[in-house]
A and B are shown apart, each in its own frame.
Chain A
């Protein structure tokens, strides 16, 4: 694999981001900066309330940062026009899947392609069927979201995001709402994606995925990046005491 550091231009450049909720009483992000390079798979871990989801949601502006700048693929996310342009290039997968319950699986995947990308019905259906094959559930094309399992729903959600042909995929705890026996089918799809060279930012405690696919792991606590290193380094020899404590808790 090509070394990320040799690629000079980061695809996501996060500079001095701060974000607080409830009128400054809860600080979610405190002056966070990092770069993410093309084809990198970055896994963000950390205790709940550490700001990892907020950081992820700031990347496609679902949360507006109070201070700092984010540049995605060379586009500064400031005004509304840029935000929609960037969102087309950034796919997002949510913890609660957030499929559209009034549409079939097929319509879920096709809708944004047609409305945003202005593709025809035939084009979008072809792409959708391709992606459904890729995530392994072509037979569920005409099912409604409440008729399929959680694992299948999450795979449809991944296909829906991929249909926009994004350059970056964001995963917000994609396996946390799943029953244990369904986690693997979703992780497998994510591993495939990583192998294909997709740039991924993943908030997850799925250590199997982190070990196998991550090029970098970021440990966050109290709205700050505590440690940012390779999986081998972080799992075997963490530098910070806080990282060690946290890993001790989740790895038994």
Chain B
């Protein structure tokens, strides 16, 4: 039994309503709900005793499982290793320790922030039920039948449900290999967990089947951004050390990076508008200057340009200042003396140097995009505007550029995302951007893996988010037809 694309938006026949994918989806929804009512984590850790190699012990007791950061934050004494861990367990408080019971308990906790990641993991399978039930409801009841968009949304959420289930269990044992090695049966999840896990897997299978059949988009963009953000957040929350500290250290670097990128981008747009207009100019002088700029700067790596501006430019200023002072010796004009001294002392701040370097380099690339966009507009448009008495600049301003913007926008958006990533190069100029903060932290602690995975995730979230914004703007500015 198949669906044709044409069936989207038409009522389903009875035979189609019994399609295996829809049946499996219904079973999956039911199993997840059932699993959350059955005992899931009936026992939980109430306390732990850790023994170290120097025979010292640390005992801790936890008022609730999810307050367990106490456990992870216990650091062994100097030059000692953990040799043994013993734990005490107690029965769960609400609803036989079922999924719903744990959610209820979490909501009754005073410190919601500490339990947030555990609650999220428990909530994701339940959240996946909402769009899944929506899909089922449409298939059964709505005169409009299946909807590709709701299927794609349901799949995007359901995809994370099995992993989230697994994560909720790992919370119970505190993501700890040591505890797992104790091999205690009461640390394993109960029936409810397995039922809900099976249910969530059925959701994924059924929705994947439907999505294949209807050829809809597998992931909506926000699901991707959310997934990356959740991974980063889980890293920080579940393993607070060292991730929390790294995060606190590099956080201000994100703002520096964003500030550099946004300010540079504004200048880049101005420079490349001028560059693009210069490249379509009929005046050989303007065309020549614009071409020289574009061809020269596109051929030099950004890194070399940045290093030049940071290290070589002060020397250039110095030499120029010297020249002006020499001139002052010849003609004896007062203002030349102060100007020469000022020029010799001129130093760009790291931030200014970074913005200048990025603007000059990217201005050359984006100028070419502007040129291509302007020349893609049919010659007749300029002729029509000129024949109405508009000047060249008026025609550009009112007729050519508004049309060219729609051509220019997608590639310029891509350049913005590239700029966001290439901005990491300014870390060589003593600018405390995200990359440099990461390097500083690593130099201090030698935690290379943890540092760079977090820095990479930060860039990933930024670029994913930026490219979605660009896509949105593109969609808004396409031609009305």
Contact = CB atoms under 8 A, between A and B. Distances in A.
Interface of A: 60, 62, 84, 87-88, 90-92, 94, 96, 98-102, 111-112, 115-116, 144, 146-147, 157, 160-161, 164
B304 interface: no
Given A84-B389, A87-B387, A164-B388, A102 B481 contact: no
B389 A116 contact: yes
Contact of B384 (A90, A100, A115, A144): A100
A94 to B, nearest CB: 6
A98 to B, nearest CB: 4
B394 to A, nearest CB: 5
A147 B481 contact: yes
Q: Which of A116, A144, A164 is most buried by chain B, counting CB atoms within 10 A of its CB?
A: A116
A48 to B, nearest CB: 18
Interface stretch (B35-43, B331-339, B397-405, B444-452): B397-405
14 contacts: A62-B387, A92-B383, A94-B383, A100-B384, A102-B403, A102-B406, A115-B398, A116-B388, A116-B394, A144-B480, A146-B479, A161-B387, A161-B388, A164-B389
Contacts of A115: 390, 394, 398
Given A88-B389, A99-B384, 13 more contacts: A87-B387, A87-B388, A92-B384, A92-B387, A98-B383, A98-B384, A100-B381, A102-B402, A112-B385, A116-B389, A116-B394, A147-B481, A164-B389
Contact of B479 (A62, A101, A112): A101
A157 B384 CA distance: 9
A209 B140 CA distance: 65
A111 B386 CA distance: 12
Contacts of A161: 387-388
Given A87-B389, A112-B390, A101 B383 contact: no
A91 B386 CA distance: 10
Contacts of B479: 101-102, 146
B109 interface: no
Given A98-B381, A144-B480, A84 B387 contact: no
Contacts of A99: 384
B2 interface: no
A164 B385 CA distance: 12
B391 interface: yes
B281 to A, nearest CB: 15
B185 interface: no
Contacts of B481: 144, 146-147
A94 B481 CA distance: 23
Nearest to A113: B388
Q: Which of B387, B399, B403, B479 is most buried by chain A, counting CB atoms within 10 A of its CB?
A: B387
Nearest to B403: A102
B380 interface: yes
Contacts of A90: 387
Interface string B322-336: 000000000000000
CB-based closest 8 A-B pairs: A98-B384, A112-B388, A88-B389, A92-B387, A98-B380, A116-B389, A87-B389, A102-B402
Contacts of A94: 380, 383-384
Contacts of B403: 100-102
A84 B391 contact: yes
A112 B385 CA distance: 8
Size range of the interface on B? 20 to 34
Nearest to B391: A84
Interface string B367-383: 00000000000101101
Nearest to B388: A112
A48 B404 CA distance: 32
B389 to A, nearest CB: 4
Nearest to A114: B398
B457 to A, nearest CB: 41
A161 B383 CA distance: 13
Nearest to B477: A102
A77 B158 CA distance: 72
Given A62-B383, A101-B403, A111 B391 contact: no
Q: Which of B383, B385, B481 is most buried by chain A, counting CB atoms within 10 A of its CB?
A: B383
Given A102-B479, A146-B481, A96 B380 contact: yes
Contacts of B402: 102
A160 B378 CA distance: 19
A62 B479 CA distance: 29
B154 to A, nearest CB: 37
A63 B381 CA distance: 15
A168 to B, nearest CB: 11
Interface string B157-178: 0000000000000000000000
Given A94-B380, A144-B480, A60 B387 contact: yes
B386 A62 contact: yes
A115 B381 CA distance: 16
A94 B384 CA distance: 8
B380 A111 contact: no
A90 B388 CA distance: 8
A87 B389 CA distance: 5
A57 to B, nearest CB: 8
A164 B389 CA distance: 9
B403 to A, nearest CB: 5
Contacts of A157: 384
Given A94-B380, A100-B381, A102-B479, A111 B398 contact: yes
B380 A100 contact: no
A160 B388 contact: yes
A90 B383 CA distance: 13
Q: Which of A96, A98, A146, A147 is most buried by chain B, counting CB atoms within 10 A of its CB?
A: A98
B378 to A, nearest CB: 8
Contacts of B380: 94, 96, 98
A87 B394 CA distance: 14
B399 A100 contact: yes
Contacts of B406: 102
A101 B398 CA distance: 12
A160 B387 CA distance: 11
Interface string B395-422: 0001100110010000000000000000
Interface string B287-324: 00000000000000000000000000000000000000
A84 to B, nearest CB: 6
A39 B399 CA distance: 32
Nearest to A63: B383
A77 to B, nearest CB: 13
A115 B402 CA distance: 15
